Each structure stands twice: as structure tokens, then as C-alpha cells.
Amino acid sequence: MAEANPARINLFLLVVLLLGQLLVMAGSVRRDAGATLLETGVAKVGEPVVALTRGAGRGLDGLVGFFSELARARRENALLRVELERLRSEVNRYREQSAENERLRRLLGMREALAPRSVAASVIARSLTGSTRMIVLDQGRRAGVREDLPVVAWGGAVGRVVLAGEDYAKVRLLTDPNSGVSGIVQRTRAEGMVEGRAGDPLEMTYVPKYADVVAGDRVVTSGLDGVFPKGFGIGRVIAVEEPAGSTVKRILIEPEMPFEAVEEVLVLTERTGSALLEAGVPPRGGP
């Protein structure tokens, strides 16, 4: 009996593996929500390794940080005492203002603005490569994280959950080329779609040429996309172009969120509509 040709066997194996991957891809594209069983399984297999690196990294960080923190702590302690006194007086002032605010809201029949419910999560992995800008969080469906929920940090928009496993979630960052969020220029209320462009600045599109936008303007989420509540910071305009023959401006935005440094985030688990946070007051006579 003739011996099988290894090259042919390898070619056959290649075809089988590639077909298998195509089937997996088809299943991944067709899924309505959540990770496929295979993806969850692979993530679970790799989870101990990633968790270990995270633990080791934190340990090393902690050791290095300990000594520098010790010296800094003394200096900061004195400053913090002063700051504490200032904040105490401010808190008292805000309490007064909050009570006054509530009275006025009731008076005007406005809806009470409630803080959205959220899940705090740590970043356990991130990928900022050519075609992908994403992070992986250590909280998943078990904690109430679902697909399409907004992720924020430090008052700024971070991204959107694109996949939620049992104990992890993948978040597509605003800078991902496949990301888009509805934004509004805080000063003039000009609206547009803010799209990611990987390593380059964000681009705000669909802003008409007559809209008043200049470099330095702050752009925040508009709440119109049904994902992000209103008022979370996106970035600042760094350039405004008016391409010849086009009816819209080309606006480049420098993100205000240092995506590569984000370590803890909040996943807003409650859809809150668009009237949750104030994005600013429109100017008199503005568009």
C-alpha cells in the first residue's frame, strides 16, 4: 500500500482548518448577543494566564511604587489637609445648591436627573493594534454587563461593550475604526457622528458647513445614538476643514481620554435616555 504523501495530508489539514475557521466566523457574525461557546471556552482557557500576568504586574508595580509613594505621601499629606478644608466648605455650599436645584426642578416640572447605575470594572487586557482598539474588562454577564452598554471613565466616554462573556467583556474603544458615537459641540450644539480612526485623531462627520465649530471646542456625547447618555466628554477639536465641493465640515478631535492608561472603568448598566447629564447650556441665538 502506497504511503500517504505528507504534503497532501498537510494541504488537506489546511483546508479542513480553514473551513473550520470560516464556520466559526460565520457563527460569530450570526450570533445575536454574547460570545459563542467556542470563544467563551478559549477565553476561559487563557484566563488563568492573563490573570497571572495581571497579578504579577501589579505586584511589581506595587514594589516599585512603594518607595516613590512613601516620599510623595509626606508632601501630599500636607497639601491634602488644605484641600480637605477647602472641599468641606465646598460640600456645604453644594448641599445648599443641591437643595435649591431640587426646588427649582420641581418648580419647572423637570425630570429628576438620576445618576445611572453602573458596574465598576478593571481592564485586564488591551489591544491597540492597527485595526483594533479594544480593552477587556474583568466583569461580564454575571455582573450585569451586556452588549451595547456604554463604558465611561473620569467623566469621559471610553467605548461600547461589543461582547459580554460570563466574567469578561470586550469593549470597543471610541478610537476603533469600526466605532461611532453621536457627538455634540458643547459651545454651539452642532451635532455630528464621531468616528474612530485607529491611531489618528477622531473624526466628526455630518456637521454642516454653516455650523460654528472652531479649534479648541469641546465635544461631548449627545445622547442621540441610544448608547451613551448625554454629556460625557469625547475630546477637543484640533482642526476644522472644509473640503471643496462638500456640504459638510471635516472636524478632527483629539480624544480627552488617555485610552492607553485607563485601568478602571464604569459600565453604565441602565439605559437612561438622553436627558441624564447636562452637556451645557446652548448660547443665546445659537444654531
Partner 1 sequence: MTLLWAVLALALALAGQAVAGNWLPGALRYVDLLMLPVLWYGLARSQRSAMLVGCLAGALEDAWFRAGVFGLRGFDKTLLGWLVGGIGARLDLNVAWGRAAAGAALPVADRMLEFGLLRLLDLSPGSLEPVELLGRAASGGALALAAFSVVDRLGSRRPRPKGSGWSR
Q: Return the range that interacts with partner 1 (CB under 8 A); candidates 138-146, 192-200, 216-224, 239-247.
A: 192-200
Q: Please give the radius of gyration of the chain, using alpha carbons only, rounded to the nearest integer.
A: 24
Tell the residue number behind the cell numbers 459638510, with chain if given: 248
Q: How far is the CB of 247 from partner 1 (least distance, A)?
A: 23
Selected binder of partner 1 within 69, 76, 200, 270 (CB under 8 A): 200
Total number of residues shown for the chain: 287
155 binds partner 1 (CB under 8 A): no
Selected binder of partner 1 within 69, 76, 102, 260 (CB under 8 A): 260
Selected binder of partner 1 within 5, 33, 42, 88 (CB under 8 A): 42
64 binds partner 1 (CB under 8 A): no
Nearer to partner 1 by Cβ, of 164 and 279: the residue is 164
53 binds partner 1 (CB under 8 A): yes
Cβ atoms within 10 A of the Cβ of 111, count? 10
Q: Return the range that interacts with partner 1 (CB under 8 A); candidates 73-81, 146-154, 162-170, 183-191.
A: 162-170
172 binds partner 1 (CB under 8 A): yes
Q: Is 262 left (phi over 0), alpha (psi -120 to 50) or beta?
A: beta
Please enumerate in sequence order all residues whose Cβ is within 8 A of that of 131, keeping only pairs 6 or more positions apart, or say none: 177, 198
Q: Return the range that interacts with partner 1 (CB under 8 A); candidates 127-135, 184-192, 225-233, 277-285.
A: 127-135
Report d(CA 23, CA 15) in Å as an integer.
12
28 binds partner 1 (CB under 8 A): yes
43 binds partner 1 (CB under 8 A): yes
Selected binder of partner 1 within 162, 211, 238, 266 (CB under 8 A): 162
176 binds partner 1 (CB under 8 A): yes
Q: How far is the CB of 123 from partner 1 (least distance, A)?
A: 8
18 binds partner 1 (CB under 8 A): yes
What are the residues binding partner 1 (CB under 8 A)? 6, 9-10, 13-14, 17-18, 21-25, 27-29, 35-36, 38-39, 42-43, 45-46, 49-50, 52-54, 56-57, 123-132, 134, 136, 162-163, 170-172, 176-178, 197-200, 259-260
